[in-house]
Structure 1
Amino acid sequence: MDQVTKPAGFWIRLLGNLLDGIIVSIPLGLIGFLITGDFDGEDPITSLIGFIYAVAVPILWYGYTIGKRIVGVRIVKVNGKKLGIGAMLLRVLVAGIVYGLTLGIALIVSVFMVVFRKDKRSLHDMMAGTYVTYSKPGEIEDKQAFVD
């Protein structure tokens, strides 16, 4: 049974993303500078590391990134199953392509979805079968075990 528990809204998600941007991009910029000798924000090495961070860290850390952990929210699957590579690739890669192809219009639609939908799910959440929640690891999964 698909169920959304304690969904996180727009402002807390934005703050988590901003913290991730600051905490991750500064060290990545320094690493890129040490490797290339230039502070080019479009360096493929730092872009790849940033992508790997966005996909792998939530899989390995119960849906948290550093920024999300600080603000107390995490990414989970709607069906209560473990977050995996497929869901995170849909969330990060496919959603990024859709947002780029629509010149940001889909991103604006996503913002409105998070603000106005009861379950606070965006387009990339819908694509990946995920949502962002205040629930701690084990809370949602434990409830799903009793439902199934």
Structure 2
Amino acid sequence: MIQNPGGFWRRLLGILLDAIVIGIPLGIIAYILTGETEGNAFTNLLSFLYYLILPVAWMGYTVGKRIVGVRIVKVNGEKVGIGTMFLRTFVAGIVYAVTIGIALIVSAFMVGLREDKRAIHDLIAGTYVTTDKPEQSLET
């Protein structure tokens, strides 16, 4: 059951904060190690692992989502697992790439206009973004 969905602006700010807090240092490290300023396999892999593993380990949060107070959960309220996050990140990424970004734009409108604030990647993975904090029993 979907409760207290995180809206467009909070989600966008969370994505931007992730880009600043994680993307910039990752780009600097990649430049030091590879000498390349453009995205490469090293930065793409680390970025993918960040979005795949951190929400599983940290109750649905990424750094940016934690700062703005939203997290990813399954529609039934359970915490996300690796399979769920794989669907949300990798499979949805393929959908966005195949549609040349059109599905990403549609997703932005979905988050802004749908009552449940779910984007295409949420529908694929059976997730949503909520402002609810994890239950105390789940954190320990």
TM-score by length of 2: 0.93
Give % identity.
58
Say whether residues 1:99 and 2:111 are aligned partners. no
1:136 to 128, 133, 137: 133
Deviation per CA, 1:5-24: give whole Å up to 9, x if none.
Answer: 10011111000000001111
Q: How does 1:47-86 map to 2 (within 5 A)?
A: 47-86=44-83
Question: Corresponding residue for 1:146?
Answer: none
**Counterpart of 1:132 in structure 2: which amino acid?**
V
Question: Corresponding residue for 1:90?
Answer: 87
**Counterpart of 1:89 in structure 2: which amino acid?**
F
Question: Corresponding residue for 1:116?
Answer: 113
Partner Cα separation in structure 1 for residue 53 and residue 110 of structure 2: 25
Q: Pick the structure with greater CA Rg.
A: 1
In the alignment, is the contact (CA less than 8 A) between 2:85 and 2:125 conserved in 1? yes
Q: CA deviation at 1:111?
A: 1.1
Q: CA deviation at 1:43?
A: 1.4
SS in 1 for 2:128: strand
SS in 1 for 2:6: coil
Question: Corresponding residue for 1:22?
Answer: 20
Say whether residues 1:5 and 2:3 are aligned partners. yes
Structure 2 stretches of 5 or more lacking a match?
none
The count of aligned residue pairs is 137
Structure 1 stretches of 5 or more lacking a match?
142-148
Deviation per CA, 1:24-43: give whole Å up to 9, x if none.
Answer: 1111111111211232x221
**Counterpart of 2:76 in structure 1: which amino acid?**
N
**Counterpart of 2:69 in structure 1: which amino acid?**
G
Q: CA RMSD in A?
A: 1.2
SS in 2 for 1:119: coil
Question: Corresponding residue for 1:35?
Answer: 33
Moved over 3 A (4+): none
Partner Cα separation in structure 2 for residue 69 and residue 9 of structure 1: 14
